Amino acid sequence: MCLYCRYLLDKRWYDQWKEYVHAGDQNSSSYPGKIDNTELYEDLDSYHLKERLSENEDFVLVPAEAWHKLLSWYDMMDNQPPLERKVVDLPSTVKVEVYPVEIYLCLSSNMESTVSACFSRADKIREYRLLMDRKTLKRHFYWIFGIYMEFCVSRRNSADEDSYRGPPGVCGLTNLGNTCFMNSALQCLSNTPPLTEYFLRNSYLEELNFTNPLGMKGEIAEAYADVIKQMWSGRHYSVVPRVFKTKVGHFASQFLGYQQHDSQELLSFLLDGLHEDLNRVKKKEYIELRDADGRPDQEVAEEAWRNHLRRNDSVIVDTFHGLFKSTLVCPECNKVSVTFDPFCYLSVPLPVSKERVMEVFYVSLDPTAKPTQYRLIVPKAGQVIDLCTALSQATGVPPNQMAVADVFNHRFYRIYQADESLSCILDRDDIFLSSGCVDQEGEEVVMAIYMRERSHYRDYGSGSNSYSTSLFGHPLLISVPRAQCTREDLYQLLLKRLAINVLALNGMTHCFCLAQPYIAIDWDPDMKKKYYNENEAEKYIKHQSMDVPHQQITVQLQECIELFTTVETLEEENPWYCPTCKKHQLATKKLDLWSLPEVLIIHLKRFSYTKYSREKLDTIVEFPLRDLDFSGFLLKKTVNSTEPPCRYDLISVSNHYGGLRDGHYTSYARNKDNGQWYYFDDSKVTYAREEQIVTSAAYLLFYQRQDKIRQPTVPPPVPSSSQPENHVSSQTHDGMDGASSCVSMETD
């Protein structure tokens, strides 16, 4: 038994097991059955894990001793491998390799003969050799392979790094454990030409501000410069930003450790930190801000920008800062307050749909009717009763006579109350709606019906001298008048209800009703095999609503910018103090763009937090790669030919895949030297086509003003058609330290 390993266990199976143990009833319907990790796999042929699984949401990690106890008690589903993962003790953290490094092993005598295997980065070469024996490859090939593999590993560690020459900037960043958010933001900034050239020219050395109390003593700027110089040296497949990560955590405690974070939050901190570390203003003077008081916008805006530069003057201001006009109107006295404020990026809202599409299964009271799958449209902020109402319109069954339940592992994982919020139901849940007894009067009891297969042998070890059972088939819900809860009435009701699945009545060995509101039907294994039609029981009908393709919402970037400039009323948590009324007011607020920077960062606010729900918006935002025209949004109109144009081209994108509590960040970026687009996924870099860039994952957009864009100085590379997935580089410069495969407790 490995003392330094953990085992992955399906979260739902684990929760069901905890409920079973807590109930303390061996005959409880919550008996979990065999350990089943099916939901964690991409498919049951290769048993590859799904990408981006999240701890405590998809799986739990249990110690080896606990795993072996569970295995001895419950066994495991046939053919499923145990998901053993090593614990890797690294500086400052202990991590579990949920996704080990996958390596393709090939014979040097036959490069087409390959096998794949997963290794811990703590493994040694001898583990490779032992694996080859287990793969039953011939001995005389083994030594050829062994030499070849050892040569490759040593070459990657030394000579390969010295001799590698690649396009500057086309360089991955090693994932240190949930640091994809940082890598994504760094790749976007790295491919921002004016900022990168500033550091490559060493211009920052003359402007380091070591005395700024708001800065980081120049340490963030120096650490960032070191990363950029490595990435643009053309000598690395991938750079390990460990020192930079340490510096960030030192000055911003929220980024300490190896938890998942937001790339926009990291970007905001980094831009502010670089600005203060490189601020050319060594002593900031106090400046009293003035309201417009009816003065012309041009005058007030110029004054505001001058005041801003008196305290803030850096390459970050030169590159990223713009100015917008803020107008507040008091709802009581109509006082109008106008100020001009600098910004470093625009956080624009996405149109939020008030509706949600849900897929459910309806189980009729009619025993001859198969379950039917429906696709329904419900209010996003609605309740479970709204789901019943939507289904009622399709079925004609009154909504108050429906029961809604989440089914998992042949049992009801949860039965919902009518007034519960629909936000409690996840899109991946299997939701069943059952109709009750509509022709009876009086108080009714809702009961669950579970089908259980009895083992051939008695469980003498537990001291109960009883048979163990395992659930199978679909559970059912029935509503019965309390007066008809007699054994005979229930028996007859169940025979009628199960008629469609049961070929002979004597297949049911017995029925008993416990104090708890559920009924268990135990089947003898031989009788089940002979009389229970499993194929028929699993069939269901797709309603015509399922044939209508789910249309993903698509909006234009310009719509988001229009929403940003729309009048809104301040929230109660953030009122404005009216100087005329002398009290806080829920004023109306309007933001207008006055002037734009050379590089405009647009933050798409995909994470929505309301009183009713918390969600990530997967809306596709159509954003142009070229000619993004802001002339219609700028309040300040061009007055002479010296004014900069308002057209921008895209240079990079930070992507977020996943939901609220987990996810993975990547980035697209256009190389400033050759004009080629690349896809950066931690240490892996691949060529990218322009048609790949606009997706529902786009989170941060970096645009550069067209008059500042420099034409490529070197010809773009020609991707080889023989290279799978347009491969550029995926090896880390420190060999097995490919941390995109080694994640900490929360999946990256």
Catalytic residues: 180, 664
Q: Cα separation of 480 and 168, whole Å?
A: 73
Q: Strand, coil or helix: what is 556?
A: strand
Long-range Cβ contact pairs of 304-312 (< 8 A, separation 24 or more): 304/339, 304/340, 304/341, 304/342, 305/340, 305/342, 305/595, 308/342, 310/281, 310/284, 310/285, 311/281, 311/284, 311/285, 311/287, 312/275, 312/279, 312/281, 312/342
What are phi and psi for residue 145, nearest 5 degrees? Answer: -65, -45
List CB contacts of 493: < 8 A, sequence separation 6 or more.
478, 480, 484
Q: Cα separation of 396 and 83, whole Å?
A: 47
Q: Which two tokens stand for residue 372?
A: 């039917």
Residue type, 272: D
Considering only CA atoms, which of 224, 338, 326, 205 is closest in space to residue 272? Answer: 224
Q: Cα separation of 362 and 391, whole Å?
A: 8
Using the structure block, give the residue that is written with the tokens 């031989």.
526
Q: Cα separation of 745 and 39, whole Å?
A: 19
* CA 665 and chain centroid, separation: 8
Neighbouring C-alpha atoms within 13 Å toward the C-beta of 611? 4
Q: How far apart are the first and last CA of the chain?
A: 28
* CA 660 and chain centroid, separation: 6
Q: Which two tokens stand for residue 722?
A: 């023989």
- Measured CA distances, 304 to 289, 341, 577 (Å): 8, 7, 21
